[in-house]
Copies of this chain bind each other. A is one copy, B any other.
């Protein structure tokens, strides 16, 4: 009973912050319990944050500027010098745990789930997996 589920997000620019909360809620399909939500990538991140247009643009700008003073880095696989994206991905992290109740995610008043694209545009996968064994509904 593998209950891994996936959603796809196509980002449209080099750095972008995208609210993916509703997308993840749809994936839950009524599930309850703790759920691990992650991106199986190394140049993007998944965070909890407030969301408004200004703050999303602030994440984008900061992601471009924070490590710029330390460039160039030596990692240039396939001629792509994206070490800053890798390092920021590790700093922000690529996974969170949320608790769902009948498919509704229990978040704080200002918390939303945000995908931080750090090396786009790219097609990104979001994976959700329950952290506890899922009981089959109605089986008892």
Contacts and interface: CB of A to CB of B under 8 A. Distances in A.
Interface of A: 4, 34, 36, 39-43, 47-50, 52, 54-55, 57-59, 61-62, 65-67, 70, 73-77, 83, 86-87, 89-97, 99, 107-111, 114, 125, 129, 131-133
A42 B36 contact: no
* Total copies of the chain: 3
Contact of A132 (B97, B111, B132): B132
Nearest to A97: B36
A129 B87 contact: no
Contacts of A133: 132
A129 B109 CA distance: 18
B42 A111 contact: yes
A131 B58 CA distance: 34
A85 to B, nearest CB: 10
Contacts of A91: 91-92
